[in-house]
Structure 1
Amino acid sequence: MHGALHKYFHWGAIASLAALIVWCLLWEMLVAPLHPGGSWVALKAVPLLIPLYGVIKRDVYTLQWSSMVILLYFTEGVVRGYSDTQAHSALMAWGEAAIVCVYFFCAVLYLRPYKQAAKRMAKELLAKVNPTK
């Protein structure tokens, strides 16, 4: 993969993760809180801070596990997008799902060359260990 494109996927992952943190806070505190003045649901943004440093530092392991965990936020976005009766809240939910999609695809596409290299190395190692195959 071209180096510049790879860099864009990294920056896309950082930007979308940061955007999701801000989006969740705005949604639950200002735009469409469950209770006037905000709610404890805004704390759902806190777990997103855990992978942020690793994503910024290009930690492959962090990008791998966070791309799976982030799907919980996608699920919430879709469920609340269909079920919330307030239009503002439903719109925020669909926005959450969209931001998660951006993060997921950026993370997966950033990780793709690493996965290909790991497969290649495993194949070479297997060929050394078992030269008859």
Structure 2
Amino acid sequence: MMTAALNTNDLVRLSRNSTLAGMLALLVLCFLWEAWLAPLRPGSLLWVKALPLLLPLPGVLRGRRYTYQWLSMFILIWFIEGVMRGWSDSGALRYLALMEVALSVWVFCFAVLYARLTRAPA
């Protein structure tokens, strides 16, 4: 019987790829939500809320530990917005907000995991 144990390098790669995938999914969700799926009113510029997610992208792609550290706090903006809109909105908007919450938690968890796995030994 063969066990599939993950070593540290596999976990680092998994956390890095998962963080990137979550960020891109959240970027697409925020853009589509405010621009096409359920804009508050025609011509609304709320889709701009997705653009700050591009700020940590270069550091995430390069695997910079510091970027992952501040990303873990930065992503909480989308978590808070998702919780507030999930609480106050109804119908399809509530489900979009819950997806935003889930994706922000996903990014948070994997960014923290990456930062933890790549820290210097004591």
TM value normalised by structure 1:
0.82
1:31/1:89 contact within 8 Å kept: no
How many equivalent pairs are there? 116
Identity of aligned residues (%): 43
1:9/1:109 contact within 8 Å kept: yes
2:30/2:47 contact within 8 Å kept: yes
Q: CA RMSD in A?
A: 1.3
Query: 1:53-101 CA distances to partner (integer Å, 9 max, x unpaired)?
Result: 111110111111111011011000000001013x111111110010001
- The structure that is helix-richer by fraction is 1
Q: CA deviation at 1:114?
A: 3.0
Corresponding residue number in structure 2 for 1:21:
27
- Summarize the alignment of residues 1-133 of structure 1 with structure 2, pairs less than 5 Å apart: 2-36=8-42, 38-85=43-90, 87-115=91-119, 117=120, 120=122
1:24/1:42 contact within 8 Å kept: yes
Consecutive unaligned residues in structure 2, runs of 5 or more: 1-6
TM value normalised by structure 2:
0.89
Consecutive unaligned residues in structure 1, runs of 5 or more: 121-133
The structure whose RCO (Cα within 8 Å, separation 6+) is larger is: 2
Question: Would you identify which runs of 4 or more consecutive aligned residues in structure 1 move more than 2 Å?
Answer: none
1:29/1:39 contact within 8 Å kept: yes
Indicate the structure (1 or 2) with the bigger Cα radius of gyration.
Answer: 1
